[in-house]
Structure 1
């Protein structure tokens, strides 16, 4: 199966093409411009690296969140458009799962953190299971023995750290932003992933998309929508306005 996968949920942007589970081409960048300015060019570059074309892609994958509201909309709308035009399946995967995936070789807790702004982070924690890859720290795994799942939350970093008592590796732009707080609270129990792991790779998105396509029937494109975890500023402003408006008698 040939998969084209995209991540646009944070400041980084990554596109990968995998063929039969092997990485064939990947482009990752950190640019100040909106991802809509370079995403299609990156898709063309990844396809060229892989020596293939859009017509030859069997399925599409994209991070569905949590993450930047604008970034998620760009990635998801692009992938849905390509998938609908090609008549091929498209699935969304967790951005936090994709972030944690490269650290599955560590026999310790992995906490994935994305900067959510407003002094908060998007967070999920995973524990490596020798026989099953990453597994959830709580709740039931949607992927059985083939993958992992964990409860995703948006919290103040201190609240995330309050729940962690075991040695833990932290990864993601949120981990880098709050590295001093993490070290101060957890001391030697905390480790920060290497710099190259703090961005989500398209290859990880492709792998998770492959697992979902293989083991889960849920690949309805119309159901592929962003997972925000919290309301947008526009929604919060509207709620505040409604609370202050006088009610009609």
Structure 2
């Protein structure tokens, strides 16, 4: 099976085509413009050309559903749905934080994935490896970097080794041992999706934002008062 993996949760959009029969990555491309759908489509087209595959040869689409950039997630989900719908293929969704953890195949113990949530906060999730895939330990959350230690302590078994992975530039994280300045990849998204339950989210699939948007915080009733009066 040829699986197209996409992640646009961060400013670096990543795309890969994975052959599940051989486990080989047929092509991998990335773009530093995750906020623009046209650039993501160009990146996907480049991956198809590098793999010498027509888009119709893709047999499943896997998308990193977040958390991450709200704009990037919306564009990624819409693009993935469009490709899956046009080709008549299933769409699988996985966590972008889990995809980060999936990209550390040699990590033992607890894997803590971190992404910058802006506004002085981070997204974080904890996982453990189970065979070829990873499983979550507790819920993914958003909080201030200073709260990461207590989050990890609540998930960690006694004397369990920890591997941190992700991309968040805060002083509280600088001294933590791990793999920093990495973002989710299309390859990890595809591998994680293949190891999952294969639930088709083509209808009803939505990004995982974890926290409300700035507009939802400012206007909890949905519409600004000035507009309601018009």
Residues in 1 aligned to 2:24 and 2:152: alpha-carbon distance in whole angstroms: 34
Q: Which residue of 2 aligns with 1:91?
A: 92
Q: Which residue of 1 aligns with 2:7?
A: 7
Q: 2:152 aligns with which of 164, 169, 176?
A: 164
Q: What aligned pairs does 1:17-166 form with structure 2 within 5 A after superposition?
A: 17-20=17-20, 21-31=23-33, 34-129=35-130, 131=131, 133-138=133-138, 151-165=139-153, 166=160
Q: Which residue of 2 aligns with 1:182?
A: 173
TM-score, normalised to structure 2, is: 0.86
Q: Which residue of 2 aligns with 1:211?
A: 195
Residues in 1 aligned to 2:162 and 2:198: alpha-carbon distance in whole angstroms: 33
Query: Residue deviations 1:40-78, cap 9 Å, x none?
Result: 111111011111111111110111111111000000000
CA gap 1:244/1:50 in 2 versus in 1, 3 angstroms = closer
SS at match of 1:164: helix
Unaligned 5+ segments in structure 1 are: 139-150, 185-189
- The question of whether the paired residues in 2 share the 8 Å contact of 1:5 and 1:16 is answered with yes
Q: Which residue of 1 aligns with 2:183?
A: 199
Structure 1 position 229 matched with structure 2 position 215: no
Residues in 2 aligned to 1:101 and 1:132: alpha-carbon distance in whole angstroms: 9
Unaligned 5+ segments in structure 2 are: 154-159
CA gap 1:86/1:122 in 2 versus in 1, 3 angstroms = same
The farther-off stretch of 221-230 and 236-245 is: 236-245
RMSD over equivalenced CA pairs, Å: 2.3
Residues in 2 aligned to 1:54 and 1:241: alpha-carbon distance in whole angstroms: 39
**1:134 Cα deviation (Å)?**
2.6
- The question of whether the paired residues in 2 share the 8 Å contact of 1:4 and 1:60 is answered with yes
The farther-off stretch of 162-171 and 109-118 is: 162-171
Residues in 2 aligned to 1:164 and 1:234: alpha-carbon distance in whole angstroms: 30
**1:158 Cα deviation (Å)?**
1.2
The farther-off stretch of 161-170 and 38-47 is: 161-170
CA gap 1:11/1:126 in 2 versus in 1, 3 angstroms = same
Residues in 1 aligned to 2:80 and 2:216: alpha-carbon distance in whole angstroms: 25
**1:218 Cα deviation (Å)?**
2.0
SS at match of 1:193: strand
Residues in 2 aligned to 1:244 and 1:59: alpha-carbon distance in whole angstroms: 44
